[in-house]
Amino acid sequence: MILEKGISAPDFELHATPDQKLKRSDFLGKNLILVFYPADWSPVCGDQVALYNEMLSIFHKYNADILGISVDSSWCHDAFMADRKLHYPLLADFNPKGEVSKAYGVYNEENGTSKRALFVIDKDGIIQWSYLSPDGINPGADGIIDALENLK
């Protein structure tokens, strides 16, 4: 079951690069967008992360940072980020596989990947919006922007 509005967002520590980890709590004091997605290199995921990359300046106007999360390894993320010229971190929910996805209620047990889900977490670490999208559908950014607007 996907975590919903009003719940304290679980903290985590995941690899952003093979030698650097980030925690959700590192972003307290800022709004945070979490983007869970099934896999690097899939067409829908590639389009989705590219869209958010183009919208970074808009997200920053709302004092929001963004983190992508999938069960891919940090090495895979490095190659994907370089290929797509991404300017925000992709975190590896790799080992133990899907642990953070499970904590947020968005792990797909059938195929061992993260489901496609979005969370907007406020500066105090409370989930203010969550959305579970069908895997094959790019959820876009309208819901994210609406949730950020509501934080004003």
Chain segment 93-144, per-residue pLDDT in tens? 999 999 999 999 999 999 999 999 999 999 999 999 999 998 789 999 999 9
Specify if 73 maps to a domain.
yes
Specify if 51 maps to a domain.
yes
Specify if 145 maps to a domain.
yes
The pLDDT of residue 152 is 79
Count how many residues are written for the chain.
152
Specify if 5 maps to a domain.
no
Q: Is the pLDDT of residue 14 over 90?
A: yes
Prediction pTM value: 0.97
Task: Provide, rounded to the nearest whole percent, the portion of the chain with pLDDT above 70.
Answer: 100
Q: Active-site residues: which are they?
A: 45
Specify if 139 maps to a domain.
yes
Specify if 47 maps to a domain.
yes
Which residue segment(s) compose the domain that 77 sits in?
A: 37-150
Specify if 74 maps to a domain.
yes
Specify if 129 maps to a domain.
yes
CA neighbor of 34 nearest in space, from 69, 1, 64, 84 = 69
- Distances in Å between the Cα of 129 and the Cα atoms of 2, 145, 150 are 11, 11, 10
What tokens were used for 79? 């190659």
The pLDDT of residue 118 is 98
The pLDDT of residue 40 is 96
CATH of the domain at 128: 3.40.30.10
What's the structural domain count of the chain?
1
Model confidence pLDDT, tens digit, residues 17-71: 999 999 999 999 999 999 999 999 998 999 999 999 999 999 999 999 999 999 9
